[in-house]
Amino acid sequence: MKTKIFVPGLVLILFSAFSLLGCAAHRSKTVAVKKPGGNRVVVVKKAPPARRTDVRPARPSARAVWIPGHWSWSGRKYIWKAGHWDRNPAGTVWISGKWSKRGNGWVWVAGYWK
């Protein structure tokens, strides 16, 4: 007895297999870690590229503080977020964010006003 292969079904099976392989490759770049308190931290296995230097436009006011650009993780790749001027809350200074090496990966530590 010969077995007939249903072509659309085979195409669907192959598409599903390749989709899963793509997801597995995508997942291998990041790991989500649940920290105490429910905060989710994304650990990127690939180091961020070298920091870029943004061209600063003219300072818009005496209270404006330059917030440097940084690499942001999109879930698939690093994307450059350009620097910008921001008005600081009175009596504060900007502490820049940074990528920090943690175990086998990299974690973004966001900047903040202190």
Give the DSSP letter string of 1-62. -PPPP-HHHHHHHHHHHHHHHHHHHHHTTEEEEEPTTS-EEEEESSPPPPPP-PPPPPP-ST
**8 A C-beta contact, residue 71 and residue 79:** yes
- Please write the tens of the pLDDT for every residue from 72-84: 999 999 999 999 9
- Please write the tens of the pLDDT for every residue from 51-61: 998 999 999 99
- Give the pTM: 0.65
Kindly report which listed range (32-36, 48-52, 66-70, 108-112) carries the lowest average pLDDT score: 32-36
The tokens describing 81, both together, are 């977020």
Judge whether residue 42 has pLDDT over 90.
no
Work out the pLDDT band at 70, boundaries 50, 70, 90. very high
